[in-house]
Structure 1
Amino acid sequence: MQTGFGIYAKIAHDIIAGKASLPNLPDAALRIRRAMQDPSCDLARIEQIIQTDAGLSGYLIQMANSPAYRGWRQTKDLKRALSLFGMEMTRNLCLGYSLRSMFHGRDPLLKTLLLEHWKRSAHRAAFCTVLAGQVRHISPDRALLAGLLQEIGMPLLYVRLENTPEALGDPELLQDLEDTFCATISQTLLASWCLDAELQDVARNRHNWLRDHRGKADLADLVTLVNLHELRLVNDPTRYLPDMQTIPAYDKLKPGAVSVLGTLVMLDESVDIAAIEATMTG
């Protein structure tokens, strides 16, 4: 009979091995994806779909007025917001918004865990969005989506653990499960949704400080820097963290000065992060 970690590890292994059913893409994102597969689809058609969801419509208008996307005048309606974003950015932002539907549960303990995870994801996504603003070839919407998706496997694992409250109430066990299985479960889920290899690479390498590659900085580099920045803020003495300036992602992105705490000064001083985060969690 399995005891301790092994019991819960089997649940994670079943997800990875395809022995457990995976959730579909949230409804709004799925309908928009299907519509965009039609070569004749245009923004007017996407607007019709989005208008059926008041929450999503309001979110896109808010994002259009957020520091990451706002233009020279205020956006007051959905049509102007979509014109500002274009098709690809609209799809990414709709997917990011619709992920919130995965962070709900009936059990109070599960509900709390899912909500806390969403808030952490939104916080990291806001960091990613601001940092992307300094990198011309990485779009803020892709960075936001990468920040939200990098640990998308954990909500799925939490839900699978709903009938084992002793696991959900054990922070050390949950951290061990995250360290061991988060990357693989997240990648498994992203692949089942047919999301692109770059986003899967983000999930696989989110804490791979030594990751290096040819060519210019990519999404995984950006997310790696954000994660190191955030962990430096937490300052957990039990976790090894390299110096920010020594990792390949820093050299590729060249994000500027590093504080005495080892964090990115540019992110420490940003006045936009809170506003972007509030839009996602409000």
Structure 2
Amino acid sequence: LYGDDNALDQTIRSLHSQINGMLLYQWSLGDEIVTVGAESRKWFRNHRDEADLCDLVLVARYYSLLGTASEKALPALAKMPAFLKLQLDFSAEESEGFIAESKAEVAAVESMLGSI
């Protein structure tokens, strides 16, 4: 890995979740936080019937990636077990529509502020 930045970067990416989980465990932050560190990049994580903190973090992470270069690699929200388990009061299509609408509103406000 020494001298090969691409290989080092790939290794870090592949071990990211394991390292997160181990660090959080060593810091004695509790099982739920350790799970978030270890599994919050697994879009199709389906651990048990009820939602947990990791499910919430997965959905929040999903929304945080919308509008970024990473958005193209995101799965369909309606196919994510975490989204389904949280039983939110809106569908995946409604939430994606809301985000698209909000982006347009934010862009309009930014445009107005830019002209001041």
**TM-score band, normalised by shorter chain:** 0.5 to 0.7
Query: 1:3 & 1:189 partners in 2: Cα distance?
Result: 26
Query: 1:194 & 1:217 partners in 2: Cα distance?
Result: 22
1:192 equivalent in structure 2: 26
Q: CA deviation at 1:208?
A: 0.6
- Cα distance, 1:177–1:228 mapped onto 2, change above 3 Å: farther
Q: CA deviation at 1:233?
A: 2.7
What is the total number of aligned residue pairs between the two structures?
99
Which one of 33, 49, 58 corresponds to residue 215 of structure 1? 49
Query: 1:245 & 1:235 partners in 2: Cα distance?
Result: 20
CA deviations over 1:142-185 (Å, ceiling 9, x no partner): xxxxxxxxxxxxxxxxxxxxxxxxxxxxxxx4xx4552232122
- The amino acid of 2:23's aligned partner reads L
Which one of 87, 93, 96 corresponds to residue 259 of structure 1? 96
Q: CA deviation at 1:206?
A: 1.0
- Cα distance, 1:224–1:178 mapped onto 2, change above 3 Å: farther
Q: CA deviation at 1:5?
A: 3.6
> Structure 1 residue runs of 4+, over 6 Å off?
none
1:99 equivalent in structure 2: none
2:83 equivalent in structure 1: 250
Is the Cα contact below 8 Å between 1:244 and 1:258 reproduced in 2?
A: no
Query: 1:214 & 1:5 partners in 2: Cα distance?
Result: 39
Q: Which moved more, 1:248-257 or 1:220-229?
A: 248-257
Query: 2:47 & 2:100 partners in 1: Cα distance?
Result: 22
2:61 equivalent in structure 1: 227
TM-score scaled to structure 1, two decimals?
0.31
- The amino acid of 1:3's aligned partner reads G
- The amino acid of 1:191's aligned partner reads Y
Q: Structure 1: which 5+ residue stretches go unaligned?
A: 10-172, 270-282
Residue 240 in structure 1 maps to residue 84 in structure 2: no
Aligned ranges 1:69-80 → 2 under 5 Å: none
- The amino acid of 1:4's aligned partner reads D
Question: Once the two structures are aligned, what percentage of the paired residues are identical?
Answer: 24
TM-score scaled to structure 2, two decimals?
0.67
Query: 2:25 & 2:100 partners in 1: Cα distance?
Result: 32
Query: 2:52 & 2:70 partners in 1: Cα distance?
Result: 27
Higher radius of gyration, 1 or 2: 1
Q: Which has the higher helix share?
A: 2
Query: 2:23 & 2:38 partners in 1: Cα distance?
Result: 12
- The amino acid of 2:55's aligned partner reads D
CA deviations over 1:197-251 (Å, ceiling 9, x no partner): 11111111111111112231100100000111111231436x5211111111111
Is the Cα contact below 8 Å between 2:32 and 2:54 reproduced in 1?
A: yes
Q: Structure 2: which 5+ residue stretches go unaligned?
A: 104-116
Q: CA RMSD in A?
A: 3.1
Aligned ranges 1:95-134 → 2 under 5 Å: none
Query: 2:36 & 2:68 partners in 1: Cα distance?
Result: 21
